[in-house]
């Protein structure tokens, strides 16, 4: 992957400041440290920080068509570029590189905005189309199907500014960063913001599966792909054996095309079903040596190294593991927030930050991971929880039915296993099974009380705003949602709200690219997703056996101890990472009453009470741990991006390629 930036004067042709583009790019040097390129004309400036994966010597960006009338910058990979290139060459298009991005330029020449319909990849790109100078040029942008690659934008004083990360926008001189109170209300309820909103006021992101076009000063956002499911109760298209065979074939192909690279490709190996499946496919269908990487914890409650080592030995990979203790998580947490650019209610990204550093230290730029399987194939406990609650709701006074919930969350500290506690915890909205948000209402109703830590000023600004009602309103406007099965409804909510905005952001792209590592995700191949959406619910969750069809599809590739084991969600400790013998120095400062008061988001006394409890010998509850992570990450975000943001990049970027007007980028290389 790479990092991209741009500045577009919507109303006047006054030129683009080169220094500003450089500063924006420098904020993304971690995304692409190998090369930097800039294109400028009288209206627009485009920049790219390149992580060289394909065509290492001639695949520079920005890149243009033959006559320089179409220019583009892209972050990501087009995995079916070989097949597309062959078709485009047969149509008469000429190529000067072997990169996948040049294929995208010519595909746009041929099909215009419909080019996105041909792409199998993970991407966020911007195309500057100068071919219609009379009707004014067009800026066309797009983001991949599920939002693996980020892309943010804002408009200020008639200038459209965009970039792969928000920090690249914030160096633009006229932008003053502010956290959005309504976004904080969303995060402390839903765990994330609702697209296109970000946590920064007036900065937006292009939603997954959407394009954005700027023409004649008008900005339009259009959806080109969306998640869909069959109507509940519809007849299956295939037999169980056929569903299994098709899924296996699609997953094998999705994995194989993600091995296309001119650099070594590694894999994450967590010891769970998903990463074990993709790693096994790599080893089964390729002959190359494979390096695998994993996280272990010094705390046995979180450690899975036994399964990781078993899989590495079974597959014969060159395996390396990074061991995290509480101090490690606390130490890197400020760096994590610098890269997430979002408050988070978990510390899970911190070990992944250290893992990607390990990968890069082993000279690997690309890793395949198992993300997406739980979302699309029914792996999450929240899906099983909703299924069990619906079963319980049919006999709400039953003493036996709620006991099944004990099987789902034994690893959650402070949740408790007493029958009466379980009943009280999961009974909320129990019989309201017609609610469109039924699957997630327990999560959200138990997270929303975190807002009691908000300051009076923040409460005043947000007023009666209810993030859950905003979600419900959106679901009510969906033409098909109410006709889907309960599992499909739960999947849709989880995928459209949580996957890109939280999981792929904080635990995917951001932690990988923090150390210039590209993640590739076979389960998020759009063909796998489209097929998985048509798989009957009973083949996703068979009884309480999650991802049943995946287990059947890959069981011959894995040891029985792996494909038969119950899912254990990836988690990391919170409280003892910030309080105790190895408490980081910054925690005292950013959580002090003075800092809390100065930032203005939280109530100093409420935070002080939480801190006092965290410093004691008693363990925090699950909700209190989430509050601690959320408050600390918000305070760090304020400290880094509001109070102390570096308006000008301290480190210059070299080498830099400069392209102006219609000059071919590959012919103008200025080494400074």
Give SS3 for 71: strand
Segments forming the whole domain that contains residue 6: 2-226
Domain membership of residue 58 (yes or no) is yes
Q: Write the DSSP assignment of 391-426 as a string of letters.
A: HHHTSTT-SSGGGGGGGT-TTSTTT---HHHHHHHH
95 burial level (CB within 10 Å; 0-12, 13-18, 19+)? middle
Residue 28 has pLDDT above 90, yes or no: yes
146 burial level (CB within 10 Å; 0-12, 13-18, 19+)? buried
Residue pair 373/274 in contact by the 8 Å Cβ criterion: yes
Residue pair 177/198 in contact by the 8 Å Cβ criterion: no
Confidence of residue 403 (pLDDT cuts 50, 70, 90): confident
| Number of domains present in the structure of the chain | 1
Domain membership of residue 7 (yes or no) is yes
- Average of pLDDT values for 214-233? 95
In angstroms, the CA 517 to CA 264 distance is: 11
Confidence of residue 660 (pLDDT cuts 50, 70, 90): low
The percent of residues above 70 in pLDDT, for the chain, comes to 94
In angstroms, the CA 86 to CA 37 distance is: 27
Q: Given this model, what pLDDT does residue 626 score?
A: 97
Residue 666 has pLDDT above 50, yes or no: no
DSSP run (H or E) holding 605: helix 604-615
- Average of pLDDT values for 390-403? 90
- Average of pLDDT values for 447-458? 97
Query: Among residues 312, 232, 322, which one has the least CA distance to residue 515?
Result: 322
Q: Please, which residues have CB within 8 angstroms of residue 641's CB and are 6 or more apart in sequence?
A: 166, 167, 170, 177, 200, 341
| Out of 244-258, 320-334, 566-580, least confident range | 566-580
Give the bridge partners for 138, in sequence order.
Answer: 129, 215
CA dihedral 536, 539, 541, 547 (to 10 degrees): -120
Residue pair 196/205 in contact by the 8 Å Cβ criterion: yes
Q: Given this model, what pLDDT does residue 565 score?
A: 82
Confidence of residue 669 (pLDDT cuts 50, 70, 90): very low
**Most confident region among 1-15, 193-207, 495-509 by mean pLDDT:** 193-207
Q: Choose between 404 and 542: higher pLDDT.
A: 542
Per the rule left: phi > 0, alpha: psi between -120 and 50, beta: everything else, 235 is beta
Domain membership of residue 84 (yes or no) is yes
Confidence of residue 649 (pLDDT cuts 50, 70, 90): low
Q: Given this model, what pLDDT does residue 391 score?
A: 94
Domain membership of residue 495 (yes or no) is no
Residue 93 has pLDDT above 70, yes or no: yes
Q: What is the mean pLDDT of the chain?
A: 91
Q: Given this model, what pLDDT does residue 662 score?
A: 37
Domain membership of residue 276 (yes or no) is no
Packed helices 181-190 and 467-477: angle between N→C axes, nearest 10 degrees: 80
Domain membership of residue 31 (yes or no) is yes
In angstroms, the CA 71 to CA 93 distance is: 15
Residue 507 has pLDDT above 60, yes or no: yes
Q: Given this model, what pLDDT does residue 72 score?
A: 96
Domain membership of residue 85 (yes or no) is yes
Cis ω before 62 (30° cut-off from 0): yes
> Could you report the per-residue pLDDT of 277-310, keeping only the tens digit for each?
999 999 988 887 899 999 999 988 888 898 999 9
Confidence of residue 445 (pLDDT cuts 50, 70, 90): very high
Residue 8 has pLDDT above 90, yes or no: yes
39 burial level (CB within 10 Å; 0-12, 13-18, 19+)? buried
The percent of residues above 90 in pLDDT, for the chain, comes to 79
Q: Given this model, what pLDDT does residue 658 score?
A: 64
Q: Write the DSSP assignment of 364-395 as a string of letters.
A: --EEE--TTHHHHHT--HHHHHHHHHHHHHTS
Q: Choose between 309 and 666: higher pLDDT.
A: 309
Residue 621 has pLDDT above 80, yes or no: yes
Residue 129 has pLDDT above 90, yes or no: yes
Sheet holding 210-215, edge to edge: 63-64, 70-78, 121-129, 138-143, 210-215, 218-223
Confidence of residue 652 (pLDDT cuts 50, 70, 90): low
- Average of pLDDT values for 538-550? 95
Confidence of residue 663 (pLDDT cuts 50, 70, 90): very low
Residue pair 175/196 in contact by the 8 Å Cβ criterion: no
In angstroms, the CA 342 to CA 330 distance is: 17
Residue 630 has pLDDT above 80, yes or no: yes
- Average of pLDDT values for 173-198? 97
In angstroms, the CA 218 to CA 661 distance is: 23
In angstroms, the CA 153 to CA 163 distance is: 7
Sheet holding 159-163, edge to edge: 204-205, 152-156, 159-163, 2-9, 44-50, 35-40, 656-660
Contacts 24+ apart (CB under 8 A), 589-593: 590/632, 590/635, 590/636, 590/639, 591/631, 591/632, 591/635
In angstroms, the CA 296 to CA 310 distance is: 13
Domain membership of residue 106 (yes or no) is yes
Q: Please, which residues have CB within 8 angstroms of residue 64's CB and are 6 or more apart in sequence?
A: 39, 70, 71, 72, 105, 659, 662, 664, 665
Query: Among residues 655, 574, 661, 578, which one has the least CA distance to residue 615?
Result: 578
The CATH number given to whatever domain includes residue 108 is 3.60.20.10
- Average of pLDDT values for 417-437? 84
Residue 415 has pLDDT above 70, yes or no: no
Q: Choose between 246 and 657: higher pLDDT.
A: 246
Residue 668 has pLDDT above 70, yes or no: no
Query: Among residues 487, 492, 488, 491, which one has the least CA distance to residue 475?
Result: 492
Model confidence, pTM = 0.94
Handedness of CA 522, 525, 527, 530 (dihedral sign): positive
Residue 417 has pLDDT above 70, yes or no: no
DSSP-assigned letter for residue 616: S
Q: Given this model, what pLDDT does residue 569 score?
A: 81
DSSP run (H or E) holding 308: helix 305-315
């Amino acid at each position: 992957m790479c990092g991209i930036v741009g500045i577009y004067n919507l109303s006047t042709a006054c030129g683009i400041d080169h220094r500003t583009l450089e500063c924006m790019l420098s904020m993304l040097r971690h995304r692409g440290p190998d090369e930097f390129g800039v294109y400028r004309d009288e209206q627009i400036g485009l920049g790219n920080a390149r992580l060289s994966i394909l065509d290492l010597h001639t695949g520079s960006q920005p890149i243009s068509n033959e006559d320089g009338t179409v220019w583009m910058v892209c972050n990501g990979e087009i995995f079916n570029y070989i097949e597309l290139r062959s078709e485009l060459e047969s149509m008469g298009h000429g190529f000067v590189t072997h990169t996948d991005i040049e294929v995208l330029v010519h595909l746009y020449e041929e099909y215009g905005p419909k080019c996105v319909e041909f792409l199998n990849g993970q991407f966020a790109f911007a195309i500057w189309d100068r071919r219609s100078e009379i009707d004014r040029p067009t800026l066309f942008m797009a983001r991949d199907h599920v939002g693996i690659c980020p892309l943010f934008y804002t408009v200020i004083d008639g200038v459209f500014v965009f970039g792969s990360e928000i920090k690249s926008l914030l160096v633009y001189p006229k932008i003053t960063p502010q956290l959005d109170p309504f976004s904080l209300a969303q995060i402390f309820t839903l765990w994330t913001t609702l697209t296109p909103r970000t946590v920064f006021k007036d900065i937006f992101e292009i939603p997954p599966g959407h394009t954005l076009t700027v023409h004649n000063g008008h900005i339009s956002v259009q959806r080109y792909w969306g998640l869909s499911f069959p109507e509940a109760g519809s007849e299956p298209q295939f037999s169980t054996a056929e569903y299994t065979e098709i899924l296996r074939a699609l997953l094998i192909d999705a994995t194989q095309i993600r091995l296309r690279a001119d650099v070594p490709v590694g894999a994450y190996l967590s010891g769970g079903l998903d990463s074990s499946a993709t790693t096994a496919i790599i080893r089964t269908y390729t002959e190359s040596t494979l390096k695998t990487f994993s996280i272990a914890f010094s705390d046995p409650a979180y450690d899975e190294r036994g399964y990781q080592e078993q899989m590495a030995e079974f597959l014969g990979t060159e395996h390396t593991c990074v061991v995290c203790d509480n101090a490690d998580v606390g130490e890197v947490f400020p760096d994590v927030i610098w890269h997430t650019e979002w408050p988070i209610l978990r510390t899970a990204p911190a070990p992944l930050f250290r893992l990607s550093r390990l990968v890069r230290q082993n000279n690997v730029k690309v890793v395949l991971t198992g993300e997406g399987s739980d979302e699309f194939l029914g792996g999450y406990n929240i899906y099983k929880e909703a299924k069990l609650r619906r079963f319980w709701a049919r006999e709400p006074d039953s003493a036996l039915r709620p006991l099944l919930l004990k099987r789902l969350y034994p690893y959650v500290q402070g949740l408790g296993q007493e029958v009466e506690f379980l009943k009280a915890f999961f009974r909320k909205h129990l019989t309201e099974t017609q609610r469109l948000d039924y699957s997630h209402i327990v999560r959200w109703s138990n997270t929303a009380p975190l807002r009691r830590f908000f300051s009076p000023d923040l409460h005043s600004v947000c007023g009666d705003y209810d993030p859950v009602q905003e979600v419900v309103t959106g679901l009510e406007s969906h033409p098909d949602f109410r006709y889907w099965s309960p599992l499909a409804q739960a999947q849709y909510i989880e995928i459209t709200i949580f996957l890109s905005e939280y999981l792929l952001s904080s635990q995917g792209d951001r932690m990988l690219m923090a150390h210039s590592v590209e993640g590739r995700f076979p389960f998020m191949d759009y063909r796998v997703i489209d097929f998985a959406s048509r798989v009957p619910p009973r083949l996703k969750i068979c009884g309480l056996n999650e991802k049943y069809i995946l287990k059947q599809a890959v069981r011959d590739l894995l040891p029985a101890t792996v494909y038969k084991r119950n899912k254990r969600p990836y988690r990391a400790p919170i409280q003892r990472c910030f309080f105790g013998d190895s408490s980081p120095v910054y925690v005292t400062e950013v959580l002090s009453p003075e800092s809390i008061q100065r930032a203005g988001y939280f109530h100093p006394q409420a935070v002080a009470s939480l801190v006092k409890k965290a410093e004691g010998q008693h363990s925090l509850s699950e909700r209190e741990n989430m509050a601690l992570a959320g408050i600390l990450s918000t305070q760090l975000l304020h400290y880094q991006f509001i109070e102390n943001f570096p308006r000008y990049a301290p480190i210059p970027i070299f080498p830099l390629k400069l392209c102006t007007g219609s000059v071919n980028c590959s012919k103008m290389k200025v080494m400074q």
